[in-house]
Structure 1
Amino acid sequence: MIVRPYKLPDGEPKLFLIQQSVHAALSGDLASHWGNKPFAPLVHPEVVWPAIFHHDDGWIPVDKSPPIDRKTKRPVSFLDSPAPDSHAIWTKSIEWAARISPFAQYLIAEHFMTLREHSESAESEAGQTFIHKYEELCETWRDNWEKRHPQCSDEEEKLAVAQLRFFDWFSLWLCLDERSEIHTFEKTPDEIPLTVEPQPNGNILTSPWPWTVDHVHVAVGGYLVPDRDYADTDDVLREMNDWCQLEWRFAPK
């Protein structure tokens, strides 16, 4: 769950709860129509696009019954999820991606391994167990993919992983906080800096223009709940009835 501080127009503090699967769907929306030069289109979009869209499906059961942090008494943010819990959730995402393709499993597993490798728990027993498990499985999935798609180069495989990682971060950047300052994504899949300039009312000027359509309109939905102490999951579930939507409109600068 993404737990985002939010204030109503009258100043009343709230928490905006965005489910991880909704954030992932936003990453898929951002990936749609991507590839206006000099940016490359999605590699094998029949696999890469649904992998981006569904890479956080393992969070669905958790987000339907969000756990409460014992210290803060607020819903647990995905950023604070204990490593063993995250591994179990990531494993479900990887396993469920089999319905798309073993290559989708490879992409999502590579994404989560990178997240763990760059985390504080990378050297922990749980972290190393997770990484080693999926290093072996990824090799098998990649080999099977290459046998069936010998024309897909190593560079394209690396680009596909980079595309998933970029759109995941692009979506999180939008979801985690209200943005008002110019931001440049330095590490795009093609290593071409992308600058976004937030404007009033969710409008965002973008340079260079990376999509093959004239403008892009995306949105996410989530629950506004009181920013208060919660006793347990049932307590927060009783408050999850105020559905809200955030919208962004991208246009060329």
Structure 2
Amino acid sequence: MVIVRPHQAPSGESLLFLIPQSVHAALSGDLASHWGNGGFLPLVHPEVVWPAIFHHDDGWIPTDNAPPIDPETKRPVSFLDSPPADSHAIWTKSIQGAARISPFAQYLIAEHFMMLREQSHSADSEAGRTFLSKYDELCESWRDRWEERHPACHEEDVQRAIRQLRFFDWFSLWLCLADRTEPHTFEETPQDVPLTITPQEEGVFVTEPWPWTVQDVHVAVGGWLVPDRNYDDTDDLLREMNDWRRLHWRFVPK
């Protein structure tokens, strides 16, 4: 499942911009780079938290490369409409893959997905309860293994690390889901310091307060432009996935 973003060509033709979930997660990591200024604390244990942010959606890579088609709507399935069982399987791959980073990375990514499930309408379904129960137990073991090696990682740091992953995930999604033309204030930041993003000319955002340690930040994502039409199946869509484009954003201080 990909991020499905409506797009209109200069000719007026309606298109879909399909952004892979793994690319969105890499954007999360790019936004987290050089973070820690203007009231915003740096990443907790960046040697672990940064790659956890960057790779938290690696489990989506197979479906990113072959997006499924909804049999009823005949459209590419957005990650927002992913059936719980499918999401659980994909999230599990992401959590398992994070083992190459650290038990703490597994803990953070699992906690992130557990929160997503807890806040969804399927939290009380059998699949939801099974997923939450399984990872609630595993999270404890991963955190215990981490703290055996890092006893100085206090509860406040752990919670801040979780909030950092969640914030950069949402920051990236906010950019990817639509063309932003109005000012927006992120209220739920890692330190609950409001962050206001104000669009200027195309792709440029004035940012207040300035949260990065560099003078400006330039990030981008790639995705496929495809016709906005009905598709018979994934193979039908894959035949149209040959126009790879990039979206660019530049953040500057006020």
TM-score (norm 2): 0.99
1:155 paired residue number: 156
2:114 paired residue number: 113
1:14 paired residue number: 15
Aligned counterparts of 1:248 and 1:62: Cα–Cα separation in 2: 26
Aligned counterparts of 1:219 and 1:64: Cα–Cα separation in 2: 19
What residue ranges of structure 2 are gaps of 5+ in the alignment? none
For the residue of structure 2 that corresponds to 1:18, the secondary structure is strand
For the residue of structure 1 that corresponds to 2:202, the secondary structure is helix
Question: What does the per-residue CA deviation read over 1:86-105, in whole Å, with 9 as the maximum and x for residues that have no partner?
Answer: 00000000000000011000
1:141 paired residue number: 142
> Given residue 94 of structure 1, which amino acid in structure 2 is its aligned partner?
I
Deviation (angstroms), 1:37: 3.1
For the residue of structure 2 that corresponds to 1:201, the secondary structure is coil
1:5 aligns with 2:38: no
2:245 paired residue number: 244
Aligned counterparts of 1:243 and 1:62: Cα–Cα separation in 2: 17
Aligned counterparts of 2:72 and 2:250: Cα–Cα separation in 1: 38
Q: Which moved more, 1:126-135 or 1:66-75?
A: 66-75
Question: What does the per-residue CA deviation read over 1:203-227, in whole Å, with 9 as the maximum and x for residues that have no partner?
Answer: 0000000000000000000000000
Aligned counterparts of 2:73 and 2:185: Cα–Cα separation in 1: 33
Deviation (angstroms), 1:200: 1.7
1:212 paired residue number: 213
1:61 paired residue number: 62
Question: Superposition pairs for residues 41-52 of structure 1, below 5 Å?
Answer: 41-52=42-53
Aligned counterparts of 1:224 and 1:76: Cα–Cα separation in 2: 15
Deviation (angstroms), 1:146: 1.2
Asked if 1 retains the 8 angstrom alpha-carbon contact of 2:41 and 2:191, the reply is yes
Question: Superposition pairs for residues 177-192 of structure 1, below 5 Å?
Answer: 177-192=178-193
2:85 paired residue number: 84
1:194 paired residue number: 195
Deviation (angstroms), 1:158: 0.4
> Given residue 53 of structure 1, which amino acid in structure 2 is its aligned partner?
F
> Given residue 35 of structure 2, which amino acid in structure 1 is its aligned partner?
W
Aligned counterparts of 2:32 and 2:214: Cα–Cα separation in 1: 12
Cα RMSD between the aligned structures?
Answer: 0.5
Asked if 1 retains the 8 angstrom alpha-carbon contact of 2:38 and 2:209, the reply is no
Q: Which moved more, 1:115-124 or 1:63-72?
A: 63-72
Aligned counterparts of 1:169 and 1:51: Cα–Cα separation in 2: 15
For the residue of structure 2 that corresponds to 1:205, the secondary structure is strand
Deviation (angstroms), 1:238: 0.4
For the residue of structure 2 that corresponds to 1:38, the secondary structure is coil
Deviation (angstroms), 1:11: 1.3
1:99 aligns with 2:87: no
For the residue of structure 1 that corresponds to 2:90, the secondary structure is helix
How many residue pairs get aligned? The number is 253
For the residue of structure 1 that corresponds to 2:96, the secondary structure is helix
> Given residue 90 of structure 1, which amino acid in structure 2 is its aligned partner?
W
Deviation (angstroms), 1:51: 0.2
Aligned counterparts of 1:188 and 1:106: Cα–Cα separation in 2: 20
Question: What does the per-residue CA deviation read over 1:132-168, in whole Å, with 9 as the maximum and x for residues that have no partner?
Answer: 0000000111111111101111000000000000000
For the residue of structure 2 that corresponds to 1:40, the secondary structure is coil
Aligned counterparts of 1:150 and 1:229: Cα–Cα separation in 2: 55
Structure 1 segments (4+ residues) deviating >4 Å: none
1:230 paired residue number: 231
What residue ranges of structure 1 are gaps of 5+ in the alignment? none
Aligned counterparts of 1:95 and 1:161: Cα–Cα separation in 2: 18
Question: What does the per-residue CA deviation read over 1:114-137, in whole Å, with 9 as the maximum and x for residues that have no partner?
Answer: 000000000000000000000000
Asked if 1 retains the 8 angstrom alpha-carbon contact of 2:196 and 2:208, the reply is yes
2:128 paired residue number: 127
- Percent identity over the alignment is 74
